[in-house]
Amino acid sequence: MKAMKVSSILTAAFLALSVNSAYAITEIINTQQAEKMNLTSLGVISDTVRVETLDQAVQAIGEKAEKAGAIYFRVIGARSFDTSPYWRVSAEIYK
């Protein structure tokens, strides 16, 4: 009985993780990839974020894209301000 309970809990946890990751946003690299996947552009978003690295800036714009209803995004510009901890990031978002 106890083994069955543990098995049920593990199965439920696995399914929850699978469903959650199915909705995670994905970064694509170029427009050819978007065309090949037959994606529809939802437009361009931009943000100025206070982060330390380019990877963190990309993660931040990805989160903004996901909130905007996108499933995919492609970074089209990223610039750090010399002595400032801010990055300006732009991305095209897709569905």
CATH number at residue 38: 3.30.1660.10
Whether residue 8 lies inside any domain: the answer is no
Q: What is the pLDDT of residues 28-46, one digit of tens each?
A: 999 999 999 999 999 999 9
Whether residue 12 lies inside any domain: the answer is no
Whether residue 86 lies inside any domain: the answer is yes
Gap between the Cα atoms of 78 and 82, Å rounded: 13
Scan for tokens 């996108």, then name that residue. Answer: 70
Q: Into how many domains does the chain fold?
A: 1
28-52 in b/e form (b: 16+ CB < 10 A) is beeeeebeeeebeebeebeeebebe
Q: What is the pLDDT of residues 7-32, one digit of tens each?
A: 444 444 444 443 344 558 999 999 99
pTM beyond 0.95: the answer is: no
